[in-house]
Amino acid sequence: MGSALLAVATAGLLRSRVAAQATPESAQHPAVTIEQVNRWETELSNWGRWGKDDERGALNLITPQKEVQAARLVKDGVTVSLAHFADLQKAADNFNFGPTRHEMFHNPETGKIGGALDIISFGIHDGTNSHLDALCHYRLDRDGKLLVFNGHPQDLDESGCKANAIDRMGPGIFTRGILVDLPLLKGVPYLEPGTPIYVSDLEAWEKFAGVKIGSGDVLLVRTGRWARRAKLGPWNAAREAAGLHASVAPWLKQRDISVLGSDGVNDVQPSGVVGAGEAANRPIHTLVIAVLGVPLVDNAYLEDVAREAAARKRWEFLVTAQFTRIPGGTATSFNALATF
């Protein structure tokens, strides 16, 4: 059976299971208030866990032993990319922080193209660019002081972050990746914008896939954002997106993952948090980056890895990524690979 047919058949078997859950999601999962998010900022903190000077956070969980275990996941020698580069054409979901440009280098003396040389510029946090946020990307306000992960002051200038920048977070990633394919679990091609993902969804996936998300893992949550975009076109995915509900944050702390990623912005948007406050709009971003010290991957391309995983009925694999270590950088492009 082809991989596409296998995925459809598997999804069909799951439809009845999902449909049987008749209790409305809103009744199963009470709203999270901004006061609860603020309490979690202290209760879930990993500040000081790896020493007072640490700037790598949960990447410390990728130990040599974890790397060896991850290498043993390679059985077939099949590799796919997890990256999506920023689109050159302006759309509803990109050009957030300036346009993406690609041009050939011109010789200043002749005005002609000066050989096979080019120049490219783009916003690293662009809405269509796969990127991994550095730990300086989100902050907390503690008694009027702006702090990033581990209590470092948020010190910014034109040269970038002075603490927790991407160049201080190590060379990259080599660890186990786990894909959580929510459209497959729910028997749909993609989740609609605004669909919250709860702990119950993640644990239902673990049971279905036969995996247990744990320490040092890269957790990748597929909502089907790219499949929906291909069918219906771009939309403002920064403001309307399927993603993790704020109530998932304590579970992420328990599972001790090293990296969290999604094909969207990770947070369900709108967030559903009741009340106003700095963390109300993106509670997962705030709690995971600034409190847990877990770097986030936004806009990962998860269509190819979903296809390969479904074909094998195996949703764990080796993830490798090299960081572009820009001094003071707030992120790196997520040019990552999944190898089965």
- In tens, the pLDDT along 175-210 reads 999 999 999 999 999 999 999 999 999 999 999 999
Identify the pLDDT of residue 114: 80
pLDDT above 70: percentage of residues in the chain: 92
Nearest to 82 by CA among 226, 201, 212: 226
Residues 217 and 92 reside in one and the same domain = no
pLDDT of residue 155 exceeding 50: yes
Among candidate residues 126, 147, 181, the one where a domain is terminated: 126
Residues 69 and 168 reside in one and the same domain = yes
Residues 248 and 115 reside in one and the same domain = no
Q: Please compute the mean of the pLDDT values over residues 245-253 and round it to a whole number.
A: 98
Neighbours of 51 (CB within 10 A): 9
Q: Please compute the mean of the pLDDT values over residues 116-121 and round it to a whole number.
A: 92
pLDDT band with cut points at 50, 70 and 90 for residue 11: very low
Residues 144 and 119 reside in one and the same domain = no
pLDDT of residue 17 exceeding 70: no
Identify the pLDDT of residue 109: 83
Q: How many domains in the chain?
A: 2
Q: Please compute the mean of the pLDDT values over residues 265-270 and round it to a whole number.
A: 98
Residues 93 and 177 reside in one and the same domain = no
Range of the domain at 60: 3-84+130-339
Residues 222 and 270 reside in one and the same domain = yes
Q: Which residue in this structure is represented by tokens 């660890």?
A: 175
Identify the pLDDT of residue 12: 45
Among candidate residues 106, 126, 146, the one where a domain is terminated: 126
Residues 195 and 56 reside in one and the same domain = yes
Is the torsion defined by CA of 80, 207, 199, 186 positive or negative?
positive
pTM above 0.85, yes or no: yes
> What CATH number is associated with residue 134?
3.50.30
- pLDDT single digits (tens) 40-74: 999 999 999 999 999 999 999 999 999 999 999 99
Residues 92 and 79 reside in one and the same domain = no
Q: How far is CA 82 from CA 86, 169, 177, 286, in A?
A: 13, 20, 11, 24
Give CA–CA dist 329/164, Å, rounded.
9
Residues 230 and 311 reside in one and the same domain = yes
- pLDDT single digits (tens) 72-117: 999 999 999 999 999 999 999 999 999 999 999 998 888 888 889 9
Whole-angstrom Cα Rg for the chain: 20
Strand extents, DSSP E, 52-187? 79-81, 101-106, 113-121, 131-133, 140-142, 145-148, 152-153, 156-157, 160-161, 172-181
Residues 222 and 94 reside in one and the same domain = no
Residues 99 and 182 reside in one and the same domain = no
Residues 225 and 175 reside in one and the same domain = yes
Alpha helices by DSSP H, listed for 219-333, are 225-232, 249-255, 283-285, 303-312
